[in-house]
Amino acid sequence: MTTKPAAKKFRYVLKWIGWAILVQFLLLNISAAFHAHKFSHFYDDPSLVNKKPSQNIFRKTWRLFAGQKYGKLPIHQAPVFKCDTIILKTKNGLAIESWFIPADSAAKGTIILFHGLTMNKEILLPEANDFHYQGYHVMLVDFRAHGNSEGNTTTVGLREAEEVKLAYDYIAAKGEKNIFCWGTSMGAVAIIKALSDYQLKPAGVILEMPFGSMQEHVKARARTIGFGGFPEKPFGLLVTFWMGVERGFNGFKFQTAKFAKDISCPVLLQWGRNDNLVLPKETNRIFDAIPSSKKKLVVYENSDHESFLFREPQKWRSETEQFLSSNTR
């Protein structure tokens, strides 16, 4: 006689457990969708840059659930050398601002520099100045949604490959034979993607700290910055999924090593031993995938995910100068 009430109670408990799991799943996906949007969207509001998050309990709770807004990092400093401001246009009409700094005398070639996520071309002025002192023309590019370029959304290197091609074609149209591309983090990934998509033939590329895949990069941000305290792996997977949905691409097919299989030019790949955004396995996988016979992996033992010129200047100058001089045509 007690079996039926017990079974009914058990089904009742299972039903509520099921509803609880469903609600949690929906809330987790809603939160991931919010974070994906904030992660790949930059607002034209300078007050959001370096803004200290509110400690109000309600706003803090909402920020943990819905993510943090990020503003475009404004440019405050122009090059110390004479430069021309170049405007390039993407196929969908976005204006991409670049600086072209000619060498003081007969140039050895041209080096095009590409920044990382949330940064802008001003951040690259130390490297650009160093290359300029070495006797090269330099060109610095603001990716879409960064610096003084138009747009508010990023695909973290995927569609930004178009900017690499635009800059490369601009320099090639000048008759330049020794074109080198230098990129850091997202900039390095965009270079790799451009070499794969457009079959560019630079004299060489210097790639610093490219991440292994979109999912690994999102997980790294969850690990180092945090996505509302959610677990790194499942939430990283969901953010990758929703970013692809919102921006119109398959985030799980964003595999840098697959793009690297199409690289045929000389490559200098550089990584910092203390980098907690790009893991050793990601760097090794990319390096192993590069089929070029002229490739070198350099590890900076005292560096994090940062400027190697700033942290280990002598080593950086030695490696880049040797690479450039040995591959100048």
Q: Between the CA of residue 17 and those of 7, 13, 14, 24, 209, what are the distances in Å?
A: 15, 6, 5, 11, 44
Provide mean pLDDT across the span 270-288.
97
Q: How confident is the model at residue 159 (pLDDT cuts 50, 70, 90)?
A: very high
Q: Which of 31-35, 116-120, 220-224, 300-304 has the lowest mean pLDDT?
A: 220-224
Name the most confidently modeled range: 17-21, 106-110, 222-226: 106-110
Q: Which domains does the chain have, with CATH numbers?
A: 75-212+255-327 (3.40.50.1820)
Two tokens, residue 141: 């590019």
Coil, strand, or helix at residue 214?
A: helix
Coil, strand, or helix at residue 212?
A: coil
> What pLDDT score was predicted for residue 163?
98
Task: Tell me which residue of 241, 240, 245 sits closest to 221, measured CA to CA.
Answer: 240
Tell me phi and psi for residue 263, to 5 degrees: -80, 125
Report the distance separating Cα 155 and Cα 160, nearest Å: 7
| Residue 210 neighbours by CB under 8 Å, 6+ apart | 183, 185, 188, 189, 192, 256, 269, 278, 282, 283, 286
Q: At what angle do helices 125-133 and 313-327 cross, to 10 degrees?
A: 50
> What pLDDT score was predicted for residue 25?
84
Provide the whole-model pTM: 0.92
Q: At what angle do helices 186-198 and 161-172 cross, to 10 degrees?
A: 70
Report the distance separating Cα 41 and Cα 51, nearest Å: 16
Checking if the pLDDT of 64 tops 80, the result is no
> What pLDDT score was predicted for residue 50?
63
Furthest C-alpha separation in the chain: 99
Two tokens, residue 71: 């503003």
Give 223-248 as a DSSP string.
HHT-STT--HHHHHHHHHHHHHHHHT
Q: How confident is the model at residue 327 (pLDDT cuts 50, 70, 90)?
A: very high
Q: Quick count: other Cβ atoms within 10 Å of Cβ 293?
A: 7
Residue 148 host element (H or E): none
Q: Which of 3-7, 122-126, 299-303 has the lowest mean pLDDT?
A: 3-7
